[in-house]
Amino acid sequence: MKRRWAALGLLVALWAAPAFAQGCAMCYSNAAGTTKDGQRAISNGVMILLLPPVGFMTLGAGMALRYSKRRDKEQSEDDFLE
Per-residue pLDDT tens digits for 5-61 = 999 988 888 887 666 666 677 777 888 888 999 989 988 998 999 999 999 999 999
Q: Contact at 8 Å (CB) between 68 and 76?
A: no
Q: Which of 21, 46, 43 is nearest to 34 (CA)?
A: 43
Confidence (pLDDT) at 14: 82
Give the whole-angstrom CA distance, residue 66 versus residue 68: 6
- 82 pLDDT more than 90: no
Mean pLDDT of 56-72: 93
pLDDT at 52: 93
Q: Which DSSP state fits 33?
A: T
Helix and strand element counts for the chain (H, E):
3, 0
The pTM of this model reads: 0.52
Size of the chain, expressed as the number of residues it contains: 82
Q: What is the mean pLDDT of residues 62-70?
A: 93
